[in-house]
Amino acid sequence: MVKINVDVPDDVHYVIRRIQIDLEMQGEKKHLKDLYAEVIKEGANRLRAQLKSQYGQDSAPQ
């Protein structure tokens, strides 16, 4: 795993923090760093799929 420091806008952090609180209210404990990792992974997968559909499979960045 790669360790990075990222400046996240407050509004984005509040959304992720709200997700953490909602999960805790449902009985699921998640660390904030794990939620950030999930959000980044999901966003990267969606962006990659979008680029594949936009530019074709062969020319999408790996």
Q: Tokens in use for 51?
A: 């680029």
**Among candidate residues 62, 51, 52, 14, the one with its CA nearest the CA of residue 36:** 14
**Predicted local confidence at residue 55, as pLDDT:** 85
pTM value is: 0.77
Please tell me the distance from the alpha carbon of residue 5 to that of residue 40, in angstroms, as a whole number: 13
**Predicted local confidence at residue 59, as pLDDT:** 54
In the predicted model, what is the mean pLDDT of residues 4-32?
96
- Of all residues in the chain, what percent carry a pLDDT higher than 70? 90
For 35-56, how does the pLDDT look when each residue is reduced to its tens digit (9 = 90+)? 999 999 999 999 999 999 988 8
Task: Calculate the alpha carbon distances from 3 to 30, 37, 55 in Å.
Answer: 19, 11, 30
User: Looking up tokens 């950030």, which residue turns up?
Assistant: 36
**Predicted local confidence at residue 62, as pLDDT:** 57
